Amino acid sequence: MKKIALVLVLLLGGVASWSMYAVLNNWDLIFKPNSSNIAAQTEKDSRQDRPKNTQTKTVASQSQKGIQISLQECESLDQLEDKKTVRCPFLVTSQKEDVKFQIYGGNYYPKFVRFIDAFGNEYLSNQIELGSNSNNSYIQKRLIRDIPLKGAVIFEQVPVNLKQIKAIELYGQLDSTYFDGRLQYQFRDLKVDG
């Protein structure tokens, strides 16, 4: 078998250089970055593979019928002119047993998620997230006992200067061996980050 090695050095934009080793052996081609690029590429790849640090500070927590909701700091997103989007993340945990839990969004009257600002203005949520799902009306998930599941409520078209929420209300529905019915959570005096 013949092996022919070709070395070709390419300068890409005058910054990165690559050595390409082409070994013709049963038509296999092997491309390999040179040693000066391996460290930079490895560091970039490891940053992409790392899970994002999504832990935020819990600012309020309530438990009803064995379902605990821990509200985290609300954050400002997507600012456009005089309006912004506010996202309020939370963790929901079943403290007694595995259960079915449903959380409502802004488009599921009369069990809507809303917040009220210091001036008495009411804002209905545009989106609700729970686990890997998002919806504007409701989401139902099976909760595993003592394992928190991430969620969030999202409010759009909020004034850009809003820094405090006077009250936020969340509604849920629990289906368990010990209770079947509606749950209501109310959190007060929350800061909006950003």
Domains of the chain: 5-49 (no CATH), 58-193 (2.60.40.3880)
What percentage of the chain carries pLDDT values higher than 70?
70
Q: What would the mean pLDDT of 77-94 be, rounded to a whole number?
A: 94
Taking alpha carbons only, the member of 102, 111, 120 closest to residue 167 is: 120
Question: pLDDT (tens digit, 9 = 90+) per residue, 108-140?
Answer: 766 678 999 999 999 999 999 999 999 999 999
Residue 152 has pLDDT above 80, yes or no: yes
pTM of this prediction? Answer: 0.70
Q: What is the pLDDT of residue 80?
A: 85
Q: What would the mean pLDDT of 85-91 be, rounded to a whole number?
A: 97
Confidence of residue 3 (pLDDT cuts 50, 70, 90): very low
* Cβ neighbours of residue 134 closer than 8 Å, sequence gap 6 or more: 127, 128
Question: pLDDT (tens digit, 9 = 90+) per residue, 32-70?
Answer: 444 444 333 433 343 334 334 455 689 999 999 999 999
User: Cis omega (within 30 of 0) on the bond before 51?
Assistant: no
Residue 87 CA to residue 70 CA, distance in Å, equals 14
CA distances (Å), origin 59, targets 64, 67, 70, 161, 192: 17, 17, 8, 21, 11
Residue 22 CA to residue 113 CA, distance in Å, equals 60
The residue type at 50: R
Q: What would the mean pLDDT of 134-152 be, rounded to a whole number?
A: 96
Q: What is the pLDDT of residue 135?
A: 94
